């Protein structure tokens, strides 16, 4: 995450239609990650995308699996075998063999689009673990409010000074689906764009969202 390529300085945030969004004042960088051409890769989905890419590029493809909001676990290993979800009711999904085996990256991106459609902040919150102590906070952890709508950001950088004080860079996607971007810190000008994070704080405000609960979470190793 700390070494992800960025778009050139000054790049605007684009939505999934390739159009600049209205708010271009609260980001310092745009990640060089495709958005897709559908309104799917929103806030939780951006984090799922980064996590999935991390596992893919680390040759850990068999670990790629995400829960849908209804609790079902959808695995890349099943998708590449041709198994697809079929919506029966608003809460019930059946899984049917409907495609041939395909382990290509292109098919992996199709898998992620399915996950984006069925997952969100509620499922992402449930499949991560609470960070209980400040010393445990690390790059890759997320700050999340589960809900419809909710929101989530991910830590993509950290720094520490001589006194041991740590600060963090935060990235997010948003609605409508748009470029994953690193946000400013308009509330702490001296730190901008870095953030101090504290699990004991009742709330945490970021550039574009107030997290009314400081719910810091991590993925299972």
CA distance 68 to 124: 9
Cα-Cα-Cα-Cα torsion 204, 207, 209, 211, nearest 10 degrees, comes to -10
Residues 83 and 96 sit within 8 Å (Cβ to Cβ) = yes
CA distance 153 to 46: 9
Q: What tens digit of pLDDT does each residue of 197-206 get? A: 999 999 999 9
Contacts of 22 (CB under 8 A, 6+ apart): none
Tokens of 102: 């395909």
pLDDT (mean) for 22-42? 97
Q: pLDDT over 70 for what percent of the chain?
A: 100
CA distance 184 to 189: 9
Mean of the per-residue pLDDT values of the chain = 96
CA distance 159 to 194: 9
Q: What confidence score (pLDDT) does residue 221 get?
A: 76
pLDDT (mean) for 3-18? 97
Pure H helices in 13-120? 43-57, 76-79, 105-118
Q: Residue 90: pLDDT above 90?
A: no
Q: What tens digit of pLDDT does each residue of 114-139 get? A: 999 999 999 999 999 999 999 999 99
pLDDT (mean) for 28-42? 97
Q: pLDDT over 90 for what percent of the chain?
A: 95
- Answering whether pTM is above 0.75, one says yes
Q: Residue 89: pLDDT above 90?
A: no
Q: Residue 39: pLDDT above 90?
A: yes
For residue 119, say if its preceding peptide bond is cis, omega within 30 degrees of 0.
Answer: no
CA distances from 5 to 9, 33, 52, 102 (A): 12, 8, 16, 28
pLDDT (mean) for 179-186? 98
105: confidence class by pLDDT, cuts 50, 70, 90:
very high
Decide: helix, strand or coil at residue 182: strand
CA distance 121 to 5: 25
Q: What confidence score (pLDDT) does residue 87 get?
A: 85
44: confidence class by pLDDT, cuts 50, 70, 90:
very high
Q: Residue 41: pLDDT above 80?
A: yes
43-57 and 105-118 helices, crossing angle to 10°: 150
């Amino acid at each position: 995450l700390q070494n992800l390529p960025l778009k050139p300085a000054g790049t605007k945030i684009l939505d999934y239609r390739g159009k600049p969004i209205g708010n271009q004042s609260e980001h310092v960088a745009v990640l060089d990650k495709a958005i897709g051409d559908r309104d799917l890769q929103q806030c939780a989905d951006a984090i799922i995308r980064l996590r999935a890419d991390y596992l893919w590029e680390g040759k850990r493809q068999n670990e790629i699996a995400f829960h849908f909001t209804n609790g079902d676990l959808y695995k890349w290993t099943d998708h590449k075998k041709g198994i697809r979800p079929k919506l029966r009711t608003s809460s019930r999904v059946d899984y049917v063999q409907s495609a041939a085996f395909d382990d290509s990256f292109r098919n992996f991106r199709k898998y992620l689009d399915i996950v984006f459609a069925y997952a969100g902040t509620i499922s992402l919150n449930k499949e991560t673990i609470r960070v209980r102590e400040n010393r445990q906070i690390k790059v890759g952890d997320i700050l999340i409010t589960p809900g419809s709508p909710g929101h989530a950001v991910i830590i993509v950088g950290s720094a520490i000074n001589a006194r041991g004080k740590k600060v963090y860079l935060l990235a997010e996607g948003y609605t409508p689906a748009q470029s994953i971007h690193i946000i400013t810190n308009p509330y702490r000008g001296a730190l901008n764009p870095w953030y101090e994070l504290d699990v004991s704080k009742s709330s945490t405000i970021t550039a574009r969202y107030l997290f009314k609960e400081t719910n810091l979470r991590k993925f299972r190793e």
